[in-house]
Structure 1
Amino acid sequence: MPISDARTSSHISTLSDDKRWQAVLAREASCDGQFVFAVRTTGIYCRPSCSSRLARRENVRFFATPLLAERAGFRACKKCHPRSAVRPIHPAVVATCQRIEHSSTPLTLDELAAEVGLTGPHLQRIFRRTLGVSPKQYALAERQQRLHQQLEAGASILDAMHASGARSTSQIYGPKSARSGLSPAERRRQAATTTLATIVAPTWLGSLAIAATERGIVAMELADSAAAAEQLLRKRFPRAAFVPASEQLTRWALLAVASIERPTQSVELPLDVQGTAFQRRVWQELQNIPAGATRTYQQIARAIGQPTAARAVGTACGKNPIAVAVPCHRAVTQSGRITGYRWGKDRKAKLLERESQP
């Protein structure tokens, strides 16, 4: 794609949030591809022309691209399919994002630019025009995401820093997290006091244990008994305080059970999952696979723009914390053989069999 095509997204930066909101209110189709808007209460992002019921302005965030919305934890609307409105992204930007996400150590702008055959300033310009952030800011967000995962799992700051790929504490203690404004020490203390509402419900697949924050569901675990399902939640969140389900979580649980009982019925659940940028892209793509269908790991890798990452896709499926609603059971090998499933291969086979029925 010629570089001039990437400049079409430069108009994004000239639109204020007020103008974007007016475009959403008018369902302005001419703005599709220029930005997306996300709704905090549902965890979904849409194109400006989406015909869904409008959210309250205070619950809406704007993003330059679907990629940035997904990095912030939102998932694509199944009604307006905002990804299909995306304008072509310069291949150098795609390659740079992939390099950053798979690098275990920080890379300089010049190193990134050399790998895509551009100068540093040139890469900086097209990257910022396309995504609204610099490669350095993108890399920082990626490191912080890895760091937060480790801290919230109870790791020490030094261990978490090592796992995130940061070379020094200054790379973490410098800019605060764009997501919460917390330092690593604060985030680790927060992890020790996280409160999760939980509920266990019976299903034909076994006991379904759900944990959630006020923002959405953080985990759905399946097991043979209620006690075993609850234990899986406690193992996943060893430092959290668990409280009985709120009315909101009870409603979400009813929807979750309905999605298991009637897999062909589309159910939107608000999710508050933590993962790397790559994992989130895989989990988002899994949600695009309709009930009754499967995709190979290679197909999923191609769908997210990383055709050589089939093995990493399999790993991301294994890290998925949301049973059934994020349908990693629909990911299969190239031969179609049913392989590992964190909630049991038998459950995976039963799910696929049930979803294949008319």
Structure 2
Amino acid sequence: MSDATSIAGLTLDEAWEGFARRDRRLDDRFVVAVRTTGIYCRPSCAARRPRRENVEMLADAAAARARGYRACRRCCPDSVARDRAAVADATRLIAAANGAPPPLAALADAVGYAPHHFLRLFKRDTGLTPAAYARALRAAHAAEQLRGAARVTDAIYAAGYAAPSRFYADAARLGMTPATFAEGGAGVTIRWSRVDTALGPLLVATTPRGLCHAALGDGPTPGELFPAATLVAGDDAHRRWAATLAARAAAERHDPALPDDARRLAFLEAVRRAAADG
């Protein structure tokens, strides 16, 4: 290690632990230089970890180059900022498309990357493919449109679905029939729990069919979301389950540089995957 006692606000022990677990949240905070190879890497580099005594933690790529190190060809540490900006721009393009995102090739071209490389970057930072991200965004919009909708079909098209069949393929996310969801959960018993996360409070609500709602922040209460349902505050087991979902979603370590709405969507989709896995 270097003679410094800290790097980017972290102790050297904390920096090493982040490097050891390949924490990509640290990729824009420092670089890791290896004396025995003359290479510097991102903290998240997939290469085998060197011995600690052979490592220097340096502020950035410029500092590493000034000391004679070369950029790793595997993790390309010089492109961290560009990669992150491309993924962030892509999430905005998908959101602006209102349910009809551009094909992968067009999306990648719009942010200046080859499709296969862009796909890898997008999934690394969000946990989702661009297509899955678009589906999740559209499904979330559909749930908003459904609340109090006079006709389910109107909500489907307002959310950007080209055909009802595509909406019904996603309808299991509602935890009840679309018509019941539009009626505020009439006749359904919903259990809910709220747990803390690094992104704010997480509200998780379930029916006997499964997860029916997941949201971050101080948004609507369960009673406002489902005014016609029978609401039951979660017991200890339900709260522990919700906390487990939150922990599993946090473990995916989505890129903190994502726009807030994209980061929240990525986290909530990770919660849904964890719930589906049991």
TM over 0.5: no
Task: Give the TM-score taking structure 2 as reference length.
Answer: 0.40
Higher Cα radius of gyration: 2
